[in-house]
Amino acid sequence: MVFLHFSGFRALSFFFFLSLILQSDALPRRGRKRPNNNATGATTGATAGNTAGLAATGGGTISQATDGSTILDKTVNINGLPIRYKISAPASLFTTVSGVPGGTATAATAATANNATAGQNGLNVLLHGDGGQSFLDFPNQAVQGGLMGVVVLAPNQDRFWGGGSGLDRTDGVEHSAAVNTLIQEQLPQDVAFDPANVFFTGVSGGSLMLSGFFMPAFGAAYKTGVMLNCGALAPQVAVVDAATLAASTRIHFQTTQNELALLQPAIPEAVAAYESLAADAGLTAAEAGALQTVDATPAGGHCEFDEQDFVSGVQLMSDSFADVMLAGGSGEVNGIGNVLTSVVGNENINFGAPS
């Protein structure tokens, strides 16, 4: 009996100490790094976004997109700025140096990729609004209309594209240059894409930088298109090759009835400014109206295109990108109707009370 009692005591002691070991392993340890799922500005490293994933051997993290594509999330230094971005693509289109399992493409630059990747998927590069919500959400992550999604985080602590505040984007020139370098030099190192098929999407503050700085400086070189959601500025810098920009760029301005007070005058000014570029380039009213369209139908607040919410509203327009922006698109957006109204004669948007 004594032996049995002692054996039982030893067994209980063993399981007691085993439970302590297991519990201690679940507790944070000094020096143990935990995944950071919050996007930050200049101090953000190459950590996972809103979905944690595997580490890519070439740097960054890997997760899965809503359509089954692979998302690579990484940070690089461009012109002294920490540029964090996510790109979503079929795994096989990632390069062998990207670190993405299954990547078989050859790294290149945009200049050397023209022939090798012609006919490959293009890109839809999204710049988020102030605060970075759309970077976390990555609303354009699904491949749509042959365009793979890219979202880029503003390189500052406030997550403001162009820096500054309000309509005064004091760092618009350098931020735009960094985005252009990202597309031309870094992204071809990560994924195979057609550099002649790169489109853009802006959300709020991202739209301000695209319309005010990026498109005037670089738009003529891309000759594609930009969707400007809930925000726009007239060009804030000299327009490079204005005639080419006007004649070869599809522009859609999308806003709502109850847009923010500071944007209600700014968006019509931007519409008129870009329409003037088309007129100066010799485009007829019909030609200008086919390239440049505007809609303010939704009875919602800032970016509430579904008349419900910022996040779901942005997602609605992102889901409708091909129908609104690409050749042959229907122009139909669920819950709004056809948004392809010519800017000609519709420059003065009739807004309601600001949100």
- 235-241's contacts with Cβ under 8 Å and 24+ in sequence apart are 235/211, 235/273, 235/274, 236/169, 236/172, 236/212, 237/172, 237/173, 237/212, 237/213, 239/277, 240/216
| More confident site: 354 or 111 | 354
Looking at residue 335, its pLDDT comes to 97
pLDDT in tens, 216-229: 999 999 999 999 99
Rounded mean pLDDT, 198-227: 98
DSSP letter, residue 238: P
Query: Is pTM beyond 0.95 here?
Result: no
Measured torsion, CA atoms of residues 298, 300, 305, 306, in degrees rounded to the nearest 10 = -90
Looking at residue 58, its pLDDT comes to 67
pLDDT in tens, 288-321: 999 999 999 999 999 999 999 999 999 999 999 9
Whether pLDDT at 117 is above 70 = no
Task: Report how far residue 76's alpha carbon sits from residue 249's, in angstroms, rounded to the nearest whole number.
Answer: 29
pLDDT in tens, 71-111: 999 999 999 999 999 999 999 999 999 999 999 999 876 55
Return the closest-CA partner of residue 272 out of 300, 253, 290, 258.
253
